[in-house]
Structure 1
């Protein structure tokens, strides 16, 4: 419990950080679900031959850089997107000030160990430009939220702690963003998670 609660913050027009949005019960429920999905986690190989440092599993649609498919690389079906996660996403966008008619059908679940990072990138492989919803669990990470033109400045760095919510849409929907570092050992021991989980919801705009 924060002695002085962290305030809601606008990172850019259309981009909102809501600290401690998930309570302890919701964090544990989300963590339990991530553990059910975790056998499918893998390091994604990029077209240039590089391998991402995070481990990822997808729900609803499989992100195979840089496109979406309904099957994994081994030909098996992607895990389904659960209705309760869509309900959580609608609550999130409403809390952030967006219209509640949000219908996400993609979840990217990323696990960060102490050395993992995520380079600045745009979420632009979807056909829809509905808001992106991001939940954080476990260790604190430094989240860099940039501009829509390039990976350079201006950007804003903010610490995302377990339970934090970030929603970005509107004119910030295609902003570059990433994780510059994870701060090991910063998670609440009662949560029972070493490392960081990030669950990102998106609307594909595809049938």
Structure 2
């Protein structure tokens, strides 16, 4: 079986610069993981994971849900933030304090002060699921960074430039890693390669990604 991470170094520094305005914080929140995971389970019980359909009719391989003031949704009418969960007709679950505190602290570590996210997109990757290269540009306030938290199985994170054709670098993300990008890197293209099979001792056979954003 091919080692998907054969050319990705394991001896990376605890804080690694990916580009101007973008950093990878390795094993950033190990001590806080039980609170974060407990909060995650409460959110998923209230707003279960679902596979969204893109405006072009493609069903996403990544399942997702949301918490916070608004959630990110996709359907035949387009991509958007909405305060109501379309599956339940109710507001999305509130963003729990462990989530908000983790996002704010990671942003400060990356050089972005006073980050107050109002949305957290929660993506679930099962083996084979992937996320194509894209920009996060549905937010009205592009001055605030994106804070992306990894839980569960290792994944290959692709991080490129401001055009889809710009060269990309690959980074191995593991349980507890956080990537923060903003400033000149705010609209960088990024994605996730297909998730390999595996079993994580805490999260099982999946990867969960928490993506914190300030939408307004």
After TM superposition, the score normalised by the length of structure 1 is: 0.89
Aligned with 1:137 (options 126, 135, 151): 151
Larger displacement relative to structure 2 (172-181 or 64-73) = 64-73
Give 1:34 deviation, angstroms: 1.8
Match of 1:159 in 2: 172
Deviation at 1:81, TM superposition (A): 1.8
Q: Deviations over 1:110-147 (max 9, x none)?
A: 11000110011111111112000011011000000111
Distance 2:133 2:169 in 1: 12
CA distance in structure 1 between the aligned counterparts of 2:26 and 2:195, rounded to whole angstroms: 17
Aligned residue for 2:129?
A: 116
Structure 2 length normalisation: TM-score?
A: 0.86
Closer, same or farther in 2 for the Cα pair 1:45/1:185, shift >3 Å? same
State whether structure 2 residue 138 is matched by structure 1 residue 125: yes
Shift of 1:192: 4.2
Q: Mapping of 1:1-207 within 5 angstroms?
A: 6-7=12-13, 8-23=15-30, 25-39=31-45, 40-60=48-68, 61-65=70-74, 66-74=79-87, 75-99=89-113, 101-129=114-142, 130-149=144-163, 151-185=164-198, 187=200, 189=201, 191-205=202-216
CA 16–136 in structure 1, closer or farther in 2 if over 3 Å, else same: same
Across the aligned residues of Structure 1 and Structure 2, the Cα RMSD in angstroms comes to 1.6
Unaligned runs of 5+ in 2: 1-9
Given that 1:140 and 1:184 are in contact with CA atoms closer than 8 Å, whether structure 2 keeps it comes out as: no
Structure 2: how far apart are the matches of 1:79 and 1:113?
23
Q: How many residues align?
A: 197
**Equivalents in 2 of 1:195, 1:82: separation in Å?**
22
Q: Runs of 4+ in structure 1 displaced over 4 angstroms?
A: none
Partner SS for 1:183: coil
SS at match of 2:193: strand
Q: Which runs of 5+ in 1 are unaligned?
A: none
